[in-house]
Amino acid sequence: MGMYKFLSEVPRDAFGVVYGIIDVAQPGFIQYVGLAKNLPKRISSHWYGAKSDVDRPVCNWLRERLHDRKSVRFEILDFANDRQELNDKEVYWIARVREAGQAPLNIQPGGFNNWEFVPDQELRAKWSSQRRYGGVSSATLDEESVLEIRRMVASGMKYKEIATATGYGIQAIGHVARGESWGYIPWEPGTAPRVNLKYTGILTPEAIEDMFKMASEGIAIVDICKKHSRTRSRVTKVLKGYPELREKYDLDNPDVIEARKAAKYELIRDSLRGSKSPWAVIDEDQVRRIRYLVWRGVPYPIISEHTGVRQGNVNNIANGKSWDAVPWPIGPRPKMHKRPSKRGDYDHILFDPALE
């Protein structure tokens, strides 16, 4: 068409360029028109999309020519000095090339954010068919997996447990569970979209006052969130945003503040108690075994050797300095008539069936 420019003709301070993709076998026919601030980087992204099975017309066309990249040329059509000019020039070039019966790979009329573009019914149907039933090239789920995830959610499993069982991401599972994706697949009997607790409607005056009442009683914010199905940030904003209610329920009273802090610390302590703690190296069953052996009179060094727990930890467990929530054996402590001195003398206790 006699319209191509050399790279040397583009000023070094240009904002970007409008380019065309051409098949060497058809040198006068532009297949696609695009814009780029960095043309070499944009060319690389086109080839990467072709290799990654991105389902777009231009990527599908390039994919057929991956074996011979020299058969494709990227020609500069124009350049621009600012964003708006680059936006307008891409729209202009797409319209101009289309008038010549070219640019079959361009779907939209161009531009950075073309919000005025409204696809027709035929194009909508095409996009919809590409995105359904696993038709998206980047989709990892399929119809059967979606139904299985819905069944797991209905059974009460947590997203993390479902992710471990299925191998899919927690975010994708959440979208499926709430009906935000794959919504065209009918829901089976006994399954339903899970309500997103972040968006459950407007708070009523009664609910707001109840939040202040609960806070004045020293109830932790986490429990308030659970009762009213709101996020922590939302409840915090409510408690800070009504000065008259803060004064009514005296939330700035030091005693109320201390009670809320105590409830918070108690909640944290309960959540980190025992084997729930990320620093725990043993669990409740091992603690019960150690306390049973201490209760039977086995020396700490022998318990440490038998259980593989350090002697200092055994000492803390025996003295109640740690794992105080695990109860001791019920009943009177057996009397030892003669204190054994060898490990073999304790085998009848160490391998007592009551420990199993």
Decide: 291 and 326 in contact? Cβ < 8 Å: yes
* Residue 210 within any structural domain of the chain: yes
User: Is 231 in the same domain as 307?
Assistant: no
User: Is 256 in the same domain as 326?
Assistant: no
* Residue 104 within any structural domain of the chain: no
User: Is 255 in the same domain as 302?
Assistant: no
* Residue 296 within any structural domain of the chain: yes
CB atoms near residue 6 (< 10 Å): 8
Q: Give the list of residues 6+ apart from residue 195 with CB closer than 8 angstroms, or none.
A: 178, 229
- pLDDT at residue 337, as a whole number: 46
Please state the domain count of the chain.
4
User: Is 212 in the same domain as 181?
Assistant: no
Query: Measured between alpha carbons, how far is 119 from 127 in angstroms, rounded to an integer?
Result: 10
- pLDDT at residue 200, as a whole number: 47
User: Is 322 in the same domain as 263?
Assistant: no
> Rounded to the nearest 10 degrees, how much is the dihedral formed by the CA atoms of 148, 151, 152, 155?
-160
pLDDT along the chain (356 residues), means of 10: 55 87 89 90 89 81 89 90 88 90 83 57 63 53 88 88 86 83 82 62 80 85 82 83 85 80 69 66 84 83 85 85 76 52 64 62
Q: How far is CA 138 from CA 53, 56, 142, 146, 155, in A?
A: 8, 12, 11, 16, 29
User: Is 173 in the same domain as 244?
Assistant: no
* Last-in-domain residue among 271, 295, 320: 271
* Last-in-domain residue among 35, 69, 99: 99
* Tokens 């997996």, located at residue: 145
* Residue 57 within any structural domain of the chain: yes
User: Residue 350 is part of which domain span?
Assistant: 284-355
Give the long-range contacts of residues 62-66, CB within 8 A, separation 24 or more: 62/21, 65/23
* Residue 106 within any structural domain of the chain: no
Identify the CA nearest to 78 among candidates 141, 108, 36.
Answer: 36
> Rounded to the nearest 10 degrees, how much is the dihedral formed by the CA atoms of 62, 66, 70, 73?
20
* Residue 105 within any structural domain of the chain: no
Largest Cα–Cα distance of the chain, in whole Å?
109
Q: Which CATH number does the domain housing residue 74 bear?
A: 3.40.1440.10
* Residue 334 within any structural domain of the chain: yes
**Amino acid letter for position 82:** D
pTM over 0.95: no
